[in-house]
Amino acid sequence: MEKFSFITRMPNEPGALHKAAEIAKKYDGNIHRIHYNRKIDPNTVFFEISTSKYSYQNIRDKLDEIGYLQTSLKPLNYLKFDIYLPNQPGALFEFLNYITSANANIGFMDYDDSSKRHDKLTVSLTVDNPSSVNMLLENLKSHYRLEILEYDTEGEKLDETVFYIEFAQKLREIIGAEDDFLIKLLNDINHIVQELTRLGEDPKRVFESILLTGNTLKDTSGDKFYADIQKLDLSNNAVLYCIQPPCGGNIYVINVQEEMVIIDSGYGIYHPDLLSLFQNCGINLKNLKGIYISHADADHCGAAGFYNVKSFMHKGTLDIIEEANRAYGSNAEECILEEVYTRLINMFSKFNPPVNVEVFPEEIIKTRGPFPVIQSFKVGDLQFEVLESLGGHLHGQVFFMCFDEGLLFTGDSLINFNSLSEDRKRYNLLAKDLMTSVNVHGKMAQKERKALIELASKINEEISIKNKKCLVCSGHGAISLLSGDKLETYGQLNHLKKNKNRF
């Protein structure tokens, strides 16, 4: 027994769903997920079943025979027109005979003989076969006065009677995928829509958040890319860059004389833009010795595969990348929301994870508060420690600390949210809309944040004699100083944007 999924498009009439279930039963298909929501699309039903490969093929063949199986997402022909019917009994019935013969689906119909336009019927419909459209129009024109209002063969004006086909067309514009891939993707998307609807979310808002995520990444790359940059001079001619791209996590560059490392790589989709930005800032990648990854989310490791250097990470981070499920290794591992979101964001952001990987050892060297120190490394004369997180935001997340310079890289566990631009705040909320939370363990995430604040405070106390302060380098937002238990932006931010594909 294997698990299979398929999409059916069936007539909105009594007994249609029963007929599909009867076919599944006949070939021993055990239905373990079904989703139909008339408010979304009155004709589309999603199935997941367990059966043998042979039986699954029989089910598909029988559904295809009766015209139920959705095998294509090509745009339907959309037609909207005004037609003038004779004012006599049976006029509407005769007109509908033509519509039925063309296998057209009516999406809208408006007629009222008490209005000034009493003899005019406005109709919108969709037709699968282009030749059927031509035949329908010829038949109607030969019997009625007809005024065509809209005729669309590109899928741009589809109404909500074919919602999933319209949605697939919008996905195609973002990722350029073929029908087979889109059908599988729609099954995944429908699964999180089903789950979020069960949790009380508006399904249309879920679809909007998915498209907005993909379009925002697409629309902020290339000529429309921009970044906010902080450049800080450290001891012994060391320089720290914090680069905030339009969306997603920060990229940090630490340059010490002839040696350089990157902490977190950002989204893959931004990589060409970041190369241009590096050049503009005088960052020479020939000195790059390695990339240190804080955690497995696409906005922190999704471009690491573009660099011809080794990437260093926690074993849990590598596991999540390989499993393509950001909830892997946590109590939320079976959550469909986390799993599907991972696939969506990896696809939209052109995920290119590292392949030349070295994982941190599991042996605990010492502790910093509740955080085990599992590794150390040097960049020039700067000594760093790798602190293992508690797994609140993500399994395998690590923090990096350079005590002498007061640098604390906190990943996504401690962020100066007030330093985020409004556009970045809106984008970050999309992930929450699709998963309900960006943390896989909410209570542990709170504990991590509190412990990081205490650690930053302790660093402040111990390096104050050197006239230094702890610089909190968050996964998002500006480098900040600790003020009580709050974060305040440190230093100056420079805003760079492209002009004719150059900064």
Task: Quick: pLDDT tens for 249-287.
Answer: 999 999 998 899 999 999 999 999 999 999 999 999 999
The b-or-e profile of 213-242 (16+ CB within 10 A means b, else e) is bbebbbebbeeebbbbbbbbebeeebbbbb
pLDDT bracket for residue 114 (50, 70, 90): low
Q: Do 4 and 69 touch, CB atoms closer than 8 A?
A: no
Give the pLDDT of residue 161.
55
- Of the ranges 22-36, 157-171, 232-246, 342-356, which one carries the lowest mean pLDDT score? 157-171
Q: How many residues does the chain have?
A: 503
Residue 396: HSE in the Cβ half-sphere, 13 Å Cα cutoff: 26
Which tens digit of pLDDT belongs to each residue from 214-241? 999 999 999 999 999 999 999 888 999 9
Mean pLDDT, residues 181-194:
93
Domain with CATH 3.30.70.260 in the chain: 2-65, 77-152
Find the radius of gyration of the CA atoms of the chain: 28
The class of domain 77-152 in CATH terms is alpha beta
Q: Is the pLDDT of residue 119 over 80?
A: no
Q: What is the mean pLDDT of the chain?
A: 91
Per-residue burial over 428-452, b if 16 or more Cβ lie within 10 Å, else e, is bebbebbbeebbbbeebbeebbebb
Dist CA 129 CA 94 (whole Å): 22
Is-contact 273 221, C-beta < 8 A? Answer: yes
Alpha-carbon 90 to chain mean position: 52
What contacts 503, CB < 8 A, 6 or more positions away? 276, 277, 280, 496, 497
Over residues 474-478, the mean pLDDT reads 97
pLDDT at 125: 85
| pLDDT at site 375 | 97
> Residue 100: helix, strand or coil by DSSP?
helix
- What lies within 8 Å, CB to CB, of 395 at 6+ separation is 316, 319, 320, 328, 329, 330, 440
**Please, where in the chain does CATH 3.60.15.10 lie?**
222-497
Q: For position 239, what pLDDT does the model report?
A: 96
Strands 259-263 and 30-35: unpaired
Q: Please give the class, per CATH, of domain 2-65.
A: alpha beta
The answer for residues whose C-beta is within 8 angstroms of residue 220's C-beta and 6 or more apart is 226, 245, 246, 247
Answer for the pair 452, 399: CB distance below 8 angstroms, yes or no.
Answer: yes
Phi, psi values for residue 125, rounded to 5°? -155, 165
Res. 159: pLDDT tops 60: no
pLDDT at position 195 is 93
- Express as a percent the part of the chain with pLDDT over 90: 70
| CATH class for the domain made up of 222-497 | alpha beta
The Cα 29–Cα 31 span in angstroms is: 6
**78-89 residue pLDDT tens:** 788 889 888 888
Q: What is the pLDDT of residue 158?
A: 46
Q: Give 75's pLDDT tier (boundaries 50, 70, 90).
A: low
User: For position 132, what pLDDT does the model report?
Assistant: 82
What span, in angstroms and rounded, lies between the C-alpha atoms of 188 and 31? 16
In tens, the pLDDT along 412-445 reads 999 999 999 999 999 999 999 999 999 999 999 9
